[in-house]
Structure 1
Amino acid sequence: MAGGKGDLQQRTATTGESYSVAADEPQEASVDVGTGSVRAALVTSSGKIKKVATCPLEIFHPAPNFYEQSSDNIWSAVCHVVKSVVADISAEDVKGIGFDATCSMVAVDEAGLPITVSPTGQEKQNVILWMDHRAHEEADFINSIGHDVLQYVGGKVSLEMQTPKMLWLKKNLPASWNSAALLFDLPDFLTWKATESESRSLCSLVCKWNYSANPIGKNGWDEDFFEQLNLRDLKKDNWRKIGNDIRVPGDAIESGLSTKAAAELGLLKGTPVGTSLIDAHAGGLGMIGSLICGTSTCHMIVNENKIFVNGVWGPYYSAMVPGFWLNEGGQSATGKLLDHVIDTHPATPGILMSLSGNKHIQQHLSELLHVMAEQKNLQNVSYLTKDIHVWPDFHGNRSPLADPTLKGMVSGLSLSVDQENLALLYLAAVQALTYGTKHIIEVLSAAGHNIESILVCGGLSQNPLFIQIQADVLALPVLCPVERESVLVGAAILGACATRKYSIHETIQRMAGSANIVKPTSECYKYHFRKYRVFKKMVQDQQEYRILMSEEL
């Protein structure tokens, strides 16, 4: 099983983190554009990361549910980190480069300049971030038509996808819509900047743009679907605005790096560039089967068979691994939820002042929980939350309920504001996120998927408490990659494929690394099962509250 989304930890600019590898081993450059930062790496042909550089990104929040970025800012950060990681080597040593990014939507004009997507009118704000929820009404309208295309997104289009966002842009900013010559998914924007090719990745189009892909049967843009949405103008110039040159991830973009991009990146003109992936899918490629946990979480599973799962995106053909169908579940706020719980608690400032060295506050809370469990003679720290329960959809439910209007819930609050109280809330939130994963796995299994283990990457994979709770709740072994940066490895695989020396399947075998196994502890499974029953009861209660409050006075 695989899953994940996004760069989970926002970091300050750095060019550190070096690793010892054979000097003569071929290297690929990889670029990962996450929600809060851009990272670049040098990765060897055996999948070992040699050097990493990171640069933060701007995020604009002009109104509730609006999240925007600047493609100029993103590309500038990309150039900065790539130059940093290749500074000490010859550009000739970089054999290829691959890009991944969040599934955000970028608008540019005929000259390649930013077209505003913001109600503020700021031109540089030309990226609607993946987590933007402005297109709620548009998503509801699209779902109301019940088109056959929707069966490939679990029955409902998400407001996080690009078709609702395009519809919003056309309705609310018609001047921007008319001026936008090209609309890109962010991963495809990066390959365009690198090569000047307007080609698009099958991954982005199938997963986020309602593009049809099948080994047998209909392929391409569904004219009837876009006609019903009053987006018929997208057909102009053979669908150029949203893509008419579609490539499988890892396919070489013929020209390689352009003269301009090569100079900006510190690489050679013509360096092979691989067709891109969405960031979560790059992590899945770097592990083959993974739960990718960051700002949000994606749960990805590939199968030789086409399996439809209500409330779960897909099945998408060849979206991550050529020849395989991908289903993708997800949670819209995971790492971001834990940050919210911590950042809004009165005890946090005092804890941060007392931390020494580079210790993260989540590590401090995990250690505190173990002390609290010992003091209460509890066999497992999870038993501490018997009376505290969380429904974690503070930013709506992506799957399996596919309801972006759901809200978060907490049961068991007290007047306590000390660090022990924060630790308990943090633990209950970690457990709730795992129960959300269990909910998704249940529907995947019921539809016909056979899941025997979980592979986890992303920021939260480095949290031992989170990983152990995953294993305990799911009663499955959890595999954590030895090479922590699976997303960067996945992007490097794309660059390696672009050299055309090996197929993507051969490259995955060479570069995807080994993993450590975390086994479930049996003593608390029944406890988690009871809490999971409470978890599902909480959303039923929330739905009942909504019905009660909708009654006329």
Structure 2
Amino acid sequence: MPDAQHGQHAQPQTAANAAGEARYVIGVDYGTLSGRAVVVRVSDGRELGSAVLDYPHAVMDSTLAATGAALAPDWALQVPADYVAVLKSAVPAAIADAGIDPADVIGIGTDFTACTMVPTLADGTPLNELPEYADRPHAYVKLWKHHAAQPQADRINTLAAERGESWLPRYGGLISSEWEFAKGLQLLEEDPELYNRMEHWVEAADWIVWQLTGRYVRNACTAGYKGILQDGEYPSADFLAALNPAFADFAETKVAHEIGQLGASAGTLTAEAAAWTGLPEGIAVAVGNVDAHVTAPAAQAVLPGQMVAIMGTSTCHVMNSDTLTEVPGMCGVVDGGIVSGLYGYEAGQSGVGDIFAWYVKNQVPARYVEAADAAGTSIHQYLTDLAYREPVGAHGLIALDWQSGNRSVLVDHELSGVVLGTTLTTRPEEIYRALLEATAFGTRTIVETFNASGVPVTEFIVAGGLLKNPQLMQTYSDVLRLPISTIASEQGPALGSAIHAAVAAGAYADVRAAGQAMGSVNKNVYTPNEQSALAYDRLYAEYSALHDYFGRGTNDVMHRLRAIRRDAFAAEKAESAESGAQA
């Protein structure tokens, strides 16, 4: 069992700080649609400046930008050069915003979405940057929400269960289509030429650090949670060969690499990266990390039982425990996956803010947008304000939050969304509220699963952009029947990366000590309303019934609809190819 004792508070140890001179670190948070850089003071975590760059190519989920060719259903790709653009733009802009001397920066840390994968050559060159592969979808980054590898994930899960693979329980009994091995197997089977040309299958979290340092170091977090590295071993060559003989050496030749521990230095800033960022050559670069896990110390939430929910386009739930056990449908448990000395647990919801954005973009009448503009508020807040004029349950609706599949606890990205109970008098704001509530019910499902598995959730802390919606936060408190604390920073992942940079630079003894000095949290900002909680209990019972009916095999209509959709797409593609050949 890991040692659950926490390190004592440590004072910054740099000579410059001892002399009373201010020192700074940079945290860079790579999200789904943009990258954000934040300048943070080492001594107390004060955020002095920030800047954001929206990725020029955003997310390619319908067409490939280089050619305009249509992508198959459930694809989500990105362009790795967009990540370097963040270093060239957002980092210098954040330094300028802070008004500091770059010479006073002692380290930089980064975090990334996961599992987001980059196929590269031996020197780290992404395959899409080779002219001969620019028109090949598999040459690009597969973003975390690329769910087209579900058939491969299903085969991995079936075979692992049949063989009784020891690593499977560490992932709640199911491997996700979002992760390294499912996506890698899809690449092999759909574009074997590219697979054979690829020399490294790299987490974007590690690729960006490679660009900063010139060294490829694989971070322990993604290696454990997304790369099925447990007790020092990947799935065996025998297991992989049973999936596909050409996949036998995948772990050994494409995945395995030097592992860097969280908070350690991966190397130092190269001259090239210094020129990109305006930072001093030779400063410490922290080992890469995941956006969710890096946030825990920024929220001062590293004790057992403190669940941190990073709520944005999706939600990731992370929590430490001194207990190692199986939690059905969790994303994984990794020794030291968040901080050393404790087991780090992860679960998540693959669609949250994305669901709200999808609904607003596609389902809300123009008159609502115009009314929101006239009121000087966002369409999201306008819909929220309208919806919460009514008591809980007055809309007569229940929804399933599966528009992007289900990450936990069903681990099935072939599932899809449902809104039940609409009538000819149902209004847009009522459906919007039902979707908000559905994500809270999804979180309650996760929390109850942890509790039932002997890993109790004793505190719930929220980070991420969605904490700005007070009605949503109150709904979560009522549904969970727990107080909701909130991270004090509006840029939790970036602050977390800065904390890890401070440790990598030697300013603090470990991540716990740095988090105590540089992180901050607002305790119990929202508390449950008993009347609302009782009403939500009734709705949650209906959610749970639908959850199991559609998600646990009673009615596989969602899977059948997905198959019909794929067949239709394939038929259209074949017809188009035939027409082109005849022409």
Q: Which TM-score band (shorter chain)?
A: 0.7 to 0.9
Mapping of 1:157-196 within 5 angstroms? Answer: 157-196=175-214
| Mapped contact 1:42–1:52 kept (Cα < 8 A) | yes
Structure 2: unaligned runs, 5 residues or longer: 1-19, 62-70, 302-306, 561-583
Q: Is the 8 A contact 1:212 1:222 kept in 2?
A: no
Question: 2: distance between equivalents of 1:355 and 1:345?
Answer: 17
Deviation beyond 3 Å, 4+ runs, structure 1: 116-120, 122-125, 218-230, 547-550
State the alpha-carbon separation in 2 of the partners of residues 357 and 74 from structure 1: 36
Counterparts of 1:280 and 1:131, CA distance in 2: 15
Which residue is equivalent to 1:70? 79
CA distance in 2, matches of 1:122, 1:329: 32
The residue type equivalent to 1:299 in the other structure is: H
Match of 2:369 among 334, 346, 351: 351
Query: Over residues 229-254 of structure 1, what are the superposed CA-to-partner deviations in whole Å (9 max), with x where a residue is unaligned?
Result: 4423336xxx4632421011110123
Q: 1:115–1:123: 8 Å Cα contact kept in structure 2?
A: no
Contact 1:39/1:78, CA 8 A, preserved across alignment: no
Distance 2:336 2:548 in 1: 36
Comparing 481-490 with 126-135, which one deviates more in the overlay?
A: 481-490
1:339 alignment partner, one of 334, 357, 361:
357
User: What is the CA-CA distance between 1:366 and the residue it aligns to?
Assistant: 2.4
2: distance between equivalents of 1:353 and 1:534?
Answer: 33
Identify the residue that residue 519 of structure 1 maps to in structure 2: 527
Residue number in structure 1 paired with 2:107: 96
CA distance in 2, matches of 1:443, 1:548: 23
Please state if 1:263 is matched with 2:275. Answer: yes
Tell me the residue number matched to 2:434: 428
Asked if residue 303 in structure 1 is aligned to residue 303 in structure 2, the reply is: no
Do residues 142 (structure 1) and 148 (structure 2) align? no
| SS of residue paired to 2:157 | helix
Matched, 1:384 2:394: yes
Match of 2:3?
Answer: none
Partner residue of 1:272? 284
Aligned to 2:14: none
Contact 2:28–2:109 at 8 Å: present in 1 too?
A: yes
1:26 is matched with which residue?
23
1:426 and 1:348, CA in 2 relative to 1: closer, same or farther beyond 3 A?
farther
Cα drift, residue 193 of structure 1: 0.5
Match of 1:247 in 2: 260
Equivalent of 2:481 in 469, 475, 479: 475
Once residues 376 and 255 of structure 2 are traced to their aligned partners in structure 1, the CA distance between those partners, rounded to angstroms, is 44
Aligned residues of 2:127 and 2:133 also touching (Cα < 8 A): no
Please, which moves more after superposition, 78-87 or 347-356? 347-356
SS in 2 for 1:290: strand
2:555: which partner in 1?
545
* Distance in 2 of aligned mates of 1:363 and 1:516: 24
**Can you list the C-alpha shifts for 1:142-162, whole angstroms capped at 9, x where unaligned?**
111122222221111100111
Verify: 1:203 aligned to 2:212, yes or no.
no
Change (3 A) 1:245 1:269: same
Query: Aligned to 2:461, what secondary structure does the other structure show?
Result: strand
Asked if 2 retains the 8 angstrom alpha-carbon contact of 1:252 and 1:500, the reply is no
Structure 2: how far apart are the matches of 1:415 and 1:145? 48
Closer, same or farther: CA 483–320 of 1 in aligned 2, 3 Å? same
CA 1:388–1:173: 2 relative to 1, 3 Å: same
Question: Which of residues 174, 194, 211 is equivalent to 1:156?
Answer: 174
Secondary structure at the counterpart of residue 422 of structure 2: coil
Determine if the alignment matches structure 1 residue 410 to structure 2 residue 419: yes
CA displacement at 1:413 relative to structure 2: 1.4
CA gap of 1:162–1:522, structure 2 versus 1, over 3 A, is: same
Verify the 8 A CA contact 2:221 2:262 in the aligned structure 1.
yes
Offset of residue 392 of structure 1? 1.1
Question: How far 1:352 sits from its partner (Å)?
Answer: 4.1
Change over 3 Å in CA distance of 1:173–1:130 after alignment to 2: same
Q: TM-score, normalised by structure 1?
A: 0.87
| Other-structure match for 1:5 | none
SS of the residue 1:307 aligns to? coil
**d(CA) in 1 for partners of 2:110, 2:193:** 31
**1:364-388 CA deviation, whole Å, 9 max, x = no partner?**
1222234x43xxxxxxx42433x11
Cα distance in structure 2, aligned partners of 1:510 and 1:429: 38
Q: 2:297 matched to which residue of 1?
A: 285
Identity over aligned residues, as a percent? 26
**Given the alignment of the two structures, is residue 505 of structure 1 paired with residue 505 of structure 2, yes or no?**
no
Contact 1:116 1:176 in 2 (8 A): no
Per-residue deviation, 1:132: 0.4
Count how many residue pairs are aligned between Structure 1 and Structure 2.
Answer: 508
Give the match's secondary structure for 1:329.
strand
**Match for residue 437 of structure 1 among 403, 423, 443:** 443
Local SS of the residue matching 1:344: helix
**Using a 3 Å threshold, how does the CA distance of structure 1 residues 28 and 358 change in structure 2: closer, same or farther?**
farther
What do you get for the CA RMSD once the two structures are aligned?
2.4
- Deviation for aligned residue 1:411: 1.1
Query: Structure 1: how far apart are the matches of 2:558 and 2:289?
Result: 44
Distance 2:177 2:432 in 1: 28
Change (3 A) 1:531 1:69: same
| Partner Cα separation in structure 1 for residue 261 and residue 514 of structure 2 | 15
1:439 and 1:499 map into 2 onto residues whose CA distance is 40
Counterpart Cα distance in 1 of 2:138 and 2:545: 45
Aligned to 2:249: 233
- Determine the C-alpha separation between the residues in 2 that align with 1:358 and 1:201: 44
Residues 32 and 547 of structure 1, relative CA distance in 2, 3 Å threshold: closer
1:22-75 Cα shifts (integer Å, max 9, x gaps): x95321101001000010000122122111101111211222101100111221
SS of equivalent to 1:80: helix
SS of equivalent residue, structure 2 residue 381: helix
SS of 1:253's partner is: strand
Q: Which amino acid aligns with 1:246?
A: I
Match of 1:545, SS state, is: coil
SS in 2 for 1:298: strand
State the AA in 2 paired with 1:258.
T
SS class of match (1:506): helix
8 Å Cα contact 1:308/1:447 also seen in 2: yes
The aligned counterpart of 2:537 is 529
User: How has the CA–CA distance of structure 1 residues 547 and 113 changed in structure 2, closer, same or farther, with 3 Å as cutoff?
Assistant: closer
Residues 443 and 348 from structure 1, CA distance in 2 versus in 1: closer, same or farther, beyond 3 angstroms? farther
- Distance in 2, matches of 1:535 and 1:354, equals 30
Counterpart code for 1:489: L
**Counterpart Cα distance in 1 of 2:383 and 2:122:** 51
Among candidates 456, 472, 477, match of residue 450 of structure 1: 456
Name the amino acid aligned to 2:512. Answer: H
SS at match of 2:135: coil
Name the counterpart of 2:33.
36
Q: Counterpart of 1:6?
A: none
Q: Give CA-to-partner distance per residue, 1:327-349, whole Å, 9 cap, x none.
A: 21111100001111222224245
Alpha carbons 1:394, 1:407 under 8 Å: kept? yes
Answer yes or no: is the 8 Å Cα contact 1:109–1:181 preserved in 2: yes
User: Closer, same or farther in 2 for the Cα pair 1:265/1:243, shift >3 Å?
Assistant: farther
Deviation at 1:416, TM superposition (A): 4.5
Judge conservation of contact 1:70–1:124 (CA < 8 Å) in 2: no
Instruction: Supply the distance in 2 between the matched residues of 1:309 and 1:324 (Cα, whole angstroms).
Output: 16
Paired AA for residue 266 in structure 2 = I
**Contact 1:211–1:222, Cα closer than 8 Å, also in 2:** no
Change (3 A) 1:466 1:253: same
Distance 1:350 1:443, change over 3 A: closer
Query: Which residue is 1:126 aligned to?
Result: 140
- Secondary structure at the aligned position of 1:189 is classed as helix
CA separation of 1:181 and 1:24: change in aligned 2, threshold 3 A: same
1:109 aligns with 2:117: no
In structure 1, distance between residues paired with 2:349 and 2:311: 9
